[in-house]
Chain A
């Protein structure tokens, strides 16, 4: 296994950050939040509470309308696309719906994580430099699907596709990984495997990891630090291991039910 180059720290800092959407909806409200390098943070909240908004603000997919968000002290640009691309280079993102190029091989999909790291013409002509290909293979090894390298992405199961998604993020050699409901379209068994992968990668490589989850038991089981959002506001910030049912009730603004738990709803 080739050595991953040590990533830069990966600290995230929100300062008085707000996002109001053009339709008037509030995605984030006066958020002050400091996330240290290497932390594994789980974000919970009912749908529409601003979980995705928070993740997407980190890599600038959603621009703040007020305040700032900074990574290792550098403010995430809202206008300069060049600066934004340079920062995104080191921020991996994992999606609920995987978002792979279905007609391309697993390997090609993982190499997409190298897009911003190689000269444009090389990516365009599919002439990836050897070191980059090795980084991609290394990423595939870390999620244990090297045997699928030449299989078309469309032929994989959901869990395998999400592993490709993780490998693509790893190929970026990121300092931060943002996982937006990474297990929401997976079955319970695969869900646990993917969550374990994310935790293991966080431990092995020290990549700051933010995961949106809507199952409370998963949040408890896998989270270190837990952040609760409600109507775009931070309403809980503490340890995922000691969070109480009362805290969850407060985050969700209601009693939680079986549908909030993976094991019972499955």
Chain B
């Protein structure tokens, strides 16, 4: 049997795509004053910085334990509190569970606003409210966690089998009971998985928030950098790297076991 002639690839179309991408990149590079020559010439400065940053100041490690713990605590509080608040936000945003269209619409928009504004914005906002420090950081990460989990979880909830919720209705259950017994258990695995994922993001975000004064190891990093203590900076970066890798490894192995 003969196949129909193979359709010709549209060369002109792909050429256009490549030209478009290239010109966009060049235009953007010019816009931010990026130049290869400058990059190469300054490499020597970079190597000087690297030389000053080595070896890491091992003695400094002892003073990193408490700030590191603080960073983790900020992430834990943000994940737990945000994870709890994310549940109602997700339920109301799930088309198959929300009590009415108006609630759904309002909640969807609320979720979008949370997600659009970056975590740094929330950190600044809460810092003005409760002052710079770990509390502001934890509050910022709470909002960030709600934004991350609610979106994903509401999508999981939209794909559940509606037979069980209907059965809960049929025994005379209320809307809340339909949610608790009919809907949430079906997407529980997803929820735990998203919460762990949010925790991983929060650990990293917590370090960055420290740079702007939200406490934790990020704050130490910022002060040492400002004092040109590069060997300490290296030590901090290594410590963060190891901690983040460890936490992500554990979290990922739990998530794998869930699915």
Contact = CB atoms under 8 A, between A and B. Distances in A.
Contact of B173 (A92, A99, A103, A116): A116
Contacts of B168: 112, 115
What is the interface of chain B mostly: helix, strand, loop, or mixed?
helix
B109 interface: no
Given A88-B171, A113-B171, A101 B166 contact: no
B223 interface: no
B172 A93 contact: no
A115 B173 contact: yes
Contacts of A104: 185
What is the interface of chain A mostly: helix, strand, loop, or mixed?
mixed
Contacts of B170: 59, 61, 88, 91, 93
Nearest to B184: A101
Contacts of B182: 101
A168 interface: yes
Interface in B85-119: none
A170 to B, nearest CB: 11
Interface in A107-142: 112-113, 115-116, 120, 123-124
Contacts of B185: 101-104
Nearest to B165: A99
Contact of B172 (A86, A99, A100, A124): A86
Nearest to A169: B171
Interface string B169-183: 111111011001110
A172 interface: yes
18 contacts: A85-B172, A86-B172, A87-B172, A88-B169, A88-B171, A88-B172, A91-B170, A93-B170, A101-B182, A101-B185, A102-B185, A112-B168, A115-B172, A115-B177, A124-B177, A168-B171, A172-B171, A172-B172
Interface of A: 59, 61, 85-89, 91-93, 95, 97, 99-104, 112-113, 115-116, 120, 123-124, 168, 172
Interface of B: 163-164, 166-174, 176-177, 180-182, 185, 188
Given A116-B171, A124-B177, A172-B171, 4 more contacts: A91-B170, A112-B173, A116-B172, A116-B173
